[in-house]
Amino acid sequence: MTTPPNRTPQRVRHELRRRQLTVVGTHKISDHMVRITIGGPELEGFSSPGFDDHIKVFFADNAMRDYTPGRFDAQALTLELDFALHDAGPATTWAAQAQAGQPVSIGGPRGSFIVPTDFDGHLLVGDDTALPAIRRRLAELPAGAPTLVLVEVNGPQDELTFDTAAHATVVWVHRQDQAPGSALLARLPTLALPAGDIYAWVACEYSAAKALRAHLVDSRGVQKQWIKAASYWRKGSADSHEKIED
């Protein structure tokens, strides 16, 4: 008798801590994305087991925004954060001027949602803001796992490369200053999804995330318990984060 696959996501709570850190370095990784490495002794004990975890990054006047923890080096006590640069907002303004030596503080992650990898296939859909989580998921997926990745960035100069052992097909689409998510919405219906039971993960602008989830559930047979769709930002509204459900 074979054991059924474990497909139940697990929630993990973490002690909420605010950490005072310093910018260690910055590095432009694409036209509209800057990688900022932050670090300091207060990163001791930092833990982020979920690929789509988020931390709060605090800026001037205590404004805070959500970012996905990237590579954590427990020896050097450094953490990488990738900031998508857009028109305006405390986070994007801070990221564009960040320099080594500047103070920065973070809080969290408060909790992690651990999605098992034991599915027949995986679908990852998102825009620039989802790239750090997509990078983490691709790094943890098992060797050979059939995976379709659909990412919208503004143009070819915003594309990145990923390290993965999964059998991943990465499709890039370009917004070219059109409505956020419009290129994802146009392309997804034309793509064949991995066969069998898939886990679908979607993160991008609110209206697009809603429409993409509806398409996957209503027209592509993705099961509701195996889809996680989130609004990582909302056009015209600051600091927006919503889980998209029915």
Ligand X SMILES: Cc1cc2nc3c(=O)[nH]c(=O)nc-3n(C[C@H](O)[C@H](O)[C@H](O)COP(=O)(O)OP(=O)(O)OC[C@H]3O[C@@H](n4cnc5c(N)ncnc54)[C@H](O)[C@@H]3O)c2cc1C
Q: Least distance (Å) from ligand X to the CB of residue 35? A: 10
238 part of the interface to ligand X, by CB under 6 A: yes
Asked if residue 66 binds ligand X (CB under 6 A), the reply is yes
Of 121 and 204, nearer to ligand X (C-beta) is 204
Among 37, 105, 112, 129, binds ligand X (CB under 6 A): 129
Cα→Cα distances 202→76, 83, 144, 225, 233, Å: 32, 18, 21, 13, 12
129-161 core/surface letters (b: 16 or more CB in 10 A; e: else): bbbbbbbbbbeebeeebbbbbbbbbbeeebebe
Under rule CB under 6 A, residue 54 binds ligand X: yes
CA-based R_g, the chain, Å = 18
Query: Per CB under 6 A, does 232 bind ligand X?
Result: yes
Instruction: Round to whole Å and give the CA distance between 26 and 191.
Output: 36
Taking CB under 6 A as the rule, does residue 9 contact ligand X? no
Q: Which is nearer to ligand X, 122 or 228 (CB)?
A: 228
Residue nearest to ligand X (CB): 89
Question: Does residue number 71 form part of the binding site for ligand X (CB under 6 A)?
Answer: no
Q: Which of 28, 243, 30 is nearest to 153 (CA)?
A: 30
Closer of 71 and 234 to ligand X (Cβ) = 234
Output 40 or 181, the one with its CB closest to ligand X: 181
| Choice from 67, 199, 201, 226 touching ligand X (CB under 6 A) | 67
* 176-215 footprint of ligand X as x/- string (CB under 6 A): ----------------------------------------
Please tell me whether residue 32 binds ligand X under the rule CB under 6 A: no
Q: Least CB distance from residue 77 to ligand X, whole Å?
A: 20
Of residues 67, 64, 69, the one with CA closest to residue 48: 69
Collapsing DSSP to helix, strand or coil, 96 comes out as: helix
Sequence-ordered strand ranges (E) for the chain:
10-13, 18-30, 33-39, 55-58, 64-67, 72-73, 78-84, 103-107, 111-114, 121-127, 146-153, 167-174, 198-205, 227-233, 242-244
Contact present, 181 and 206 (Cβ < 8 Å): no
Smallest gap from Cβ 152 to ligand X, in A, equals: 11
Q: Of 34, 79, 84, 138, which lies in the binding site for ligand X, with binding defined by CB under 6 A? A: 84
Place of tokens 């990582």: 232
By beta-carbon proximity to ligand X, the closer residue of 59 and 187 is: 59
Instruction: Catalog residues that contact ligand X under the rule CB under 6 A.
Output: 54, 65-68, 82-84, 86-92, 128-129, 132, 232-239, 241
